[in-house]
Structure 1
Amino acid sequence: MQKVYVISGTMCTVDLWQHVFPKLKNILPIHIDITPASSFEEINKIILSVITEPAVIVGFSLGGFSAMNFSIHFPEKVKKLVVVAANTDGLSDSEIQLRKSTIDFLEKHTYKGISQARIQQFLHPDNHRNSEIISVIKKMDADLGKDVLLRQLRATSTRLDISQKVLTLNTPIFFIAAENDALVNPKKLKEFVSKSQKGTYVMIKNCGHMVPLEKPEELASILNLTIN
C-alpha cells in the first residue's frame, strides 16, 4: 500500500474525502489536520511532525497551497505532489477583501455558520441545491466552529506568491483544476503549468471548487492513475 498524505482546505475536515478515500486502490490515505495552525510556518511544522520519509502529498485548496509551500521549504521530504483546486499566486483581491470583512464581522458578532451564498460560491450551479454536498460543507463548518474559522482566516489570508519557487521544484506536480471553479481560474492555472518542467495539468469538467465532494469518482480515478 502506498501511503499518501492528504491536506484539506479552509474549514474542511476529513469528511471532505468521504466519497474519495473508499475508491482509492492500493493507496493508504493519511489525513493531516492543519486546523490548529496559526501560520504557514506552523502548518509546515504539523506536516513535518507526520511525514517521516519522502512522501506523496495530496492537497486541496488551502491544503494544496500549503503542500506546495511545504515542498519549497522541505523539498527532500516530498517525492510527488497532487494539487487540487489551488494556485500558486495567493488569493485574489476580492477574496482577500471578503476575508477581511468576515474577520471584522466575526470579531463583533456570533457566528451562525456558513451562509448559503458562500456555499454556492464554492459549487457548480448544478450543485447549488444538492442537499448531500451542502450538508457535508455545513457539518465541517459546524464541527470546526468560529475559533478555527478566525484562526484560519488570519493565518492564511496573506499568501505570498510562490509561483517562481514552485517552478524551480524538482518534484513531479499534478495540478487538478475544475472547469467552473470561482476561486481558482483554471485557464490561468493551465498557463502556469505550461511553464513548469515537472507539472502536469488535468481539468475536471462541470465542477466547482469543491472537487472532492462534487466529483469524487473522477478525482479518485485521477489519484489512482497519478499515485500508483
Structure 2
Amino acid sequence: MQKIYFISGTMCTVDLWQFVFPKLENMLPIHIDITPANSFDEINDLIQSHIEEPATIVGFSLGGFSAMNFAVHHPKKVKRLIIVAANTSGLSDSEIQLRKNTFDFLEKHTYKGISQTRIQQFLHPDNYHNTEIVSIIKKMDADLGKEVLIRQLKATSVRINISEEVLKLNIPILFIAAENDALVNPKKVKEFAYQTRKGKHITIKNSGHMIPLEKHKELASILNLTIN
C-alpha cells in the first residue's frame, strides 16, 4: 500500500478529505498540516519533513500551490503531483484585496467565524444550503481559529507566479478544476496544463471551489484511476 500525501487549503484541516479518504484503494493517505507555517519556505520544510521520496502529493487550493512550489524547489523528491482547484499564478487582485480587508478587520475586531457569504463564494449554487458541507467548512474554520487565519493570510497571500518553473518540471501533473470555481479559472488551468511536459487536465462539472467536499466521489475515482 503506497503512501499518498495530501495538503489542504487555507483554513482547512484534514476534515476536508473525510469523504475522499475512505474511498481510496491501495493507498495510505497522509495529511500534511501546513497551518503552523509562517512562509512558503516553512511550508516546504514541513512537506519535506513528512514525505518519503519520491512522493505523490495531492494538494487542494493553497495546498496545490504549495505542492507545486515544493516540487519546483525539490524536483527529485516528487514523483507525481495532483493539483485540485489551484493554479500557478497565485491569487487574483480581488482575492488579494479581500484578504487584506479581512486581515485589517481581524486586527481590530473579534473573529466570529467564516460568514455565509464567504462560504457561498467557495460553493456551487446547488450547495449553498447543503448543511453537511457548510457545517464542515464552519467546523474547520472554528477549529483553526483567528490566530491561524491571520498567520495564513500573512504567510500565503503574496504568492509569486511560479508558472515558468512548473513548466520545467518533468513529472506527471494532473490538474483537476471545477467548472464553476469562482476563485480559480478552470479555462486558464486547462490551458496551462496543456503547456506542461507531462500535464493532464480534468474539469469536474457542477462543482464550486470545494471539490473534495462537493464532488468527493468523482475526486476519489480520479485518484484511484490515476495513482493505481
Please, which moves more after superposition, 215-224 or 192-201?
192-201
Q: What is the SS of the residue equivalent to 1:159?
A: coil
- 1:23 paired residue number: 23
Distance 1:35 1:56 in 2: 20
Task: Quote how far apart the aligned CAs of 1:52 are.
Answer: 2.6
Letter in 2 for 1:10: T
- Equivalent position SS for 1:111: coil
- Aligned counterparts of 1:50 and 1:69: Cα–Cα separation in 2: 16
* 1:51-70 correspondence runs (5 A): 51-70=51-70
Residue deviations 1:82-129 (CA, integer Å, cap 9, x gap)? 000000000000000000000000000000000000000000000000
What one-letter code is carried by the residue in structure 2 that aligns with 1:40?
F
Structure 2 residue aligned with 1:115:
115
In structure 2, the residue matched to 1:102 is: 102
Alignment partner, residue 218 of structure 2: 218
State the one-letter code of the partner of 1:172.
Answer: P
Letter in 2 for 1:91: L
Letter in 1 for 2:113: G
Q: Distance in 2 between matches of 1:39 and 1:12?
A: 17
Aligned: 1:39 with 2:36 = no
Structure 1: tracts of 5 or more residues without a match? none
Matched-pair contact (CA < 8 Å) for 2:122–2:182:
yes
Deviation, 1:51, is: 1.1
Shift of 1:197: 1.9
Taking the aligned partners of 2:199 and 2:52, their CA distance within structure 1 comes to 24
Instruction: Provide the C-alpha distance between the structure 2 equivalents of 1:197 and 1:48, rounded to a whole number of angstroms.
Output: 24
Structure 2 alignment gaps of length 5 or more: none
- Distance, in Å, in 1 between the alignment partners of 2:120 and 2:29 is 28
- Distance between the aligned counterparts of 1:18 and 1:66, measured in 2? 21
- For the 8 Å contact 2:8–2:61, the answer to whether it is kept is yes
3-state SS of paired residue (1:219) = helix
| Counterpart Cα distance in 1 of 2:45 and 2:194 | 31
Partner of 2:149: 149
Distance 1:51 1:162 in 2: 22
- Partner AA of 1:185 in structure 2: N
**Per-residue deviation, 1:2:** 1.3
Report matched runs for 1:41-190 at 5 Å: 41-190=41-190
Seq. identity, %:
76
Amino acid at match of 2:74: F
Code of the residue aligned with 1:45 in structure 2: it is D
Aligned counterparts of 2:160 and 2:169: Cα–Cα separation in 1 = 17
Give the TM-score taking structure 2 as reference length: 0.99
Shift >6 Å, 4+ stretches: none
Secondary structure at the aligned position of 1:145 is classed as helix
In the aligned structure 2, how far is the partner of 1:52 from the partner of 1:176? 24
Counterpart-to-counterpart distance in 2, 1:204 and 1:211 = 8
Structure-2 residue corresponding to 1:205: 205
Structure 2 distance, partners of 1:84, 1:116, is: 23
Amino acid at match of 1:208: G
State the number of aligned residues. 228
The secondary structure found in structure 1 opposite 2:98 is helix
Q: How many angstroms apart in 1 are the aligned matches of 2:16 and 2:183? A: 17
Q: 1:44, 1:95 → 2: CA distance? A: 23
TM-score of the pair, normalised by structure 1: 0.99
